[in-house]
Structure 1
Amino acid sequence: MDSNTTIKSEIFNLLRDYPLSISFIKNLSEIGELLFFGGSIRDYYLYNEYRNMPRDFDIAVKLNQNNESLFESIIENQLYSKNRFGGYKVKIENIEFDIWKLENTWAFKEKKLIAGERNLAKSVFLSVDGIVYNFNHDTLYADELRWSMENKLINIVLKDNPQKELNLLRALLFKKKYNYEFSSDLKEEYKKSISLYKNFHEKLHKLQISHYKNEYLTRKDVREELESIYS
């Protein structure tokens, strides 16, 4: 990364034609620290550029004291919905933002880890998701993702997860996208699920269609990937 470039400036450059989205981010950053995590930061880190607009932006907000009502008003001024885990899906100019109060992200709310920006990168199921960027302070935490890059492996970070099947599907997609292999721990998770479901490949394929509204892997692709885990 160029010494004069920050991820913040790259995000603003990416959104230069979306002034309402930029305003939304700026407004949030004035009432708390914005922790970008997941794919919107991962792909920039991997390629040192934004090749495409991210599917969405995942942001955990570490609110400044007494700014709860301001946070709610900023969200409520947008087109939004609340998900079953307590986060907000906000849509602005056809760009989606998944917004969480830091302490309400699943692993922290369930006391799996102590709430904190460093631990946010350790609260993910897959190591390729283990990256967090503090927008306010231009600080990056990427140990888990860096491990995957160096070893060309996808590993498990935190086994407890409310969306394990979705993450097992996502791991198949990441394997194809980045040409990484699965760690032994991740293979064991697949084996457990395969033993529980007679046609687990069919279950993952259907989940892919319902979640992404697209078919990146055919039924045959999914079945062959699962079969290869035993080879």
Structure 2
Amino acid sequence: MARKLNDIKSDVDEKRFLFHQFFYKNIDADIEIFISHLEKLTKVFIFSGIIRDFFVFKNQKPFRDIDLIIEEDLVLEEIFPALDFKKNSFGGYKIKFKTVDIDLWVIKKTWALNQGQLKFKFDYLNALPKTTFFNFSSILFSLETKEFITGKDFLRFLRDKKIELVLKENPYPELCIVNSFYYSDKLQLDMGDKLKSYLKSNYTSKMNVESIQLKHFGKILYSDEYIRNKIEEMFTN
């Protein structure tokens, strides 16, 4: 019998202190100092991959990158002038440290909320889990309160053991398509029906998925032909 979402949420909440310890145990001192300084200025939340891998792989490390979200719209170049920053067109930062990069976003500037895909006028924080592309990203962790802010889609991910679509609107459909295959392989999990339909509806032969992989991963993981054939197989088998 499928577990109830409330029971899964209780299990997730029980691991909040364990996750907090795990995170700080596996970051270098320079990152810890940066986060500590940041917390004096705004609320800071961990987002996406580290939380997913904590629950799926049981404390996997090292971190590929660290995704942070902050509440206040700070000008980090002025506050941390010595750090190596790169700013993207949506107002987010990529900050290079010795061992790992930090991707940092201001909560109100995350793409879906900023573009008005979801019409939330009040609680940005609890709205955010509803704006992710994948269900396994539908969760945040507050470093201030040491609590998870969990979307139902993340709970369904843990229950169903499938990668599924949450919000289809996204500025980078090519990357979403590539990442669907990447995470299906990495997590060894099947894709859900909504995600498969997204792939079928959004993939076109004009896309250069190899180019987007070179930019994102630094190498080609899947050829155009491989992705095209895999999508066709989803609806012929």
**TM-score normalized by structure 2?**
0.82
In the TM superposition, what is the alpha-carbon distance from 1:38 to its structure 2 partner? 1.0
Residue matched to 2:165: 156
The 1:31/1:174 distance shift into structure 2, 3 A limit, reads same
29, 32, 39: which one aligns with 2:39: 29
Query: How many Å apart are 1:45 and its aligned residue?
Result: 2.3
The corresponding residue for 2:142 is: 134
Whole-Å separation in 2 of the counterparts to 1:44 and 1:72: 31
* Residue 23 to residue 165, structure 1, CA distance change in 2 (3 Å): same
2:227 to 210, 222, 227: 222
Q: Which amino acid aligns with 1:150?
A: R
Identify if the C-alpha distance between structure 1 residues 125 and 147 changes in structure 2 by more than 3 Å, giving closer, same or farther. same
Aligned length: 220
CA positional deviation for 1:97: 0.7
Cα distance in 2 between the residues matched to 1:21 and 1:204:
33
Counterpart residue number, 1:166: 175
**Which residue in the other structure is 1:92 paired with?**
97
Deviation at 1:199, TM superposition (A): 5.8
- Distance in 2 (CA, whole Å) between partners of 1:95 and 1:158 is 28
* Higher alpha-carbon deviation: 141-150 or 97-106: 141-150
Q: Any gaps of 5 or more consecutive residues in structure 1? A: none
- 2:129 is matched with which residue? 121
Give SS of 1:32's match. Answer: coil
In 2: Cα distance, 1:32 partner to 1:8 partner: 18
Question: Structure 1 length as normaliser, TM-score?
Answer: 0.84
Q: Distance in 2 between matches of 1:98 and 1:171?
A: 20
Identical aligned residues as a percent: 22
Q: Deviations over 1:176-207 (max 9, x none)?
A: 1222222222222111223xx2365xx32332
3-state SS, counterpart of residue 97 of structure 1: strand
Please report how far the alpha carbon of residue 89 of structure 1 lies from its aligned counterpart in structure 2 after TM superposition. Answer: 0.8
Aligned 8 A contact 1:27 1:74 in 2: no
d(CA) in 2 for partners of 1:128, 1:112: 20
Bigger mean CA deviation after superposition, 21-30 or 6-15? 6-15
